Amino acid sequence: MAGLRVVMPLPDRDFDPTEAAVTWNLIREAGHEVVFATENGVRPEADPIMISGQGLDPWGFIPGLRRLRLVGLALRARRGARHTYRAMQRDRRFAAPLRYTDLNVSDFDGLVLPGGHGPGMVQYLESEVLQRFVAEFFEAGPTGSGGKPVGAICHGVVLAARATSPRTGRSVLYGRRTTALTWRQERLAWQLTRYFARFWDPHYYRTYAEADGEPEGYRSVESEVKRALANDADFVDVPDGVADFKAKTDNRRRDTRDDARPAWVVRDRNFISARWPGDVHTFARGFIEILETRR
């Protein structure tokens, strides 16, 4: 049976290497094609800090000491993900992506929205062209079908939340259940780096910082996504008492090909979402399942 065609839009820079590359690899291994797109068709680059770990230690701003890494080794992408990212860089489709304006819903069977937190992500999150494409993807197909398969992880869920249905005038996530990077996770990473590591760049882990007068967390991923939903309860975090609760919430353990216990993903019809790179294997397998059952 012929493979299906999946599109993965990315910003020019600063996307998360684990979320993009591991998902790409598992979709490819399942026999499907992944096509990439950037705003102007340029070859994208992942967040370099998440690759090297340089710049995440208190001395990371000092040129001669940048290569000495302690915090950086703990927070950067895992070895397997870095290896997979290097393989993805050699993919001809990655080297010559489409433009956002070239994307047509009818050309693809599935859509994946990776995340990332660096400043380059703003180009992707705020693209009106991409938001319209995402909205069209959610609404493609017969009425009541739930649309074509879409997967979003971490800040990718923000892009979905910003996609407005031309039919309802509301976010395509309105009336759906989802998860995303939680404020607890985002605040933990933010506090760790601004107080103990990358103190000279205190908002590195915050793509959007609060404006004067806004409460702390108002611009977080979780808060923005919740504002797009029908009600706050549709944002689904790990519930108390769920199996492997500690593994899913300690922010240290990550899922692997063979161990889904640390992962938390939420599926609603054609849409699957996840929180962070620690969920990515389970997220990608769930997306593939939706893709293959929606042929």
Kindly report the backbone phi and psi dihedral angles of residue 219, in degrees, each rounded to the nearest multiple of 5, phi listed first: -95, 15
Q: What is the pLDDT of residues 146-155, one digit of tens each?
A: 689 999 999 9
pLDDT, averaged across the chain = 94
pLDDT confidence of residue 62 = 86
What does the DSSP 8-state code read for residue 42?
A: P
> What is the pLDDT at residue 58?
87
What does the alpha-carbon distance between residue 194 and residue 213 come to, in Å, rounded to a whole number?
A: 21
- Pairing, β 45-46 against β 265-268: unpaired
21-36 per-position pLDDT tens digit: 999 999 999 999 999 9
Nearest to 95 by CA among 29, 21, 40, 36: 36
User: 280-293 and 17-29 helices cross at what angle (nearest 10)?
Assistant: 40
Under CATH, domain 5-293 is a member of which superfamily?
Answer: Class I glutamine amidotransferase (GATase) domain (3.40.50.880)
Q: Model's pTM, two decimal places? A: 0.95
Q: What is the pLDDT of residues 92-147, one digit of tens each?
A: 999 999 999 999 999 999 999 999 999 999 999 999 999 999 999 999 965 555 68
102, 37 in Cβ contact below 8 A?
A: yes
| H helix runs in 30-116, sequence order | 48-52, 71-75, 79-89, 92-95
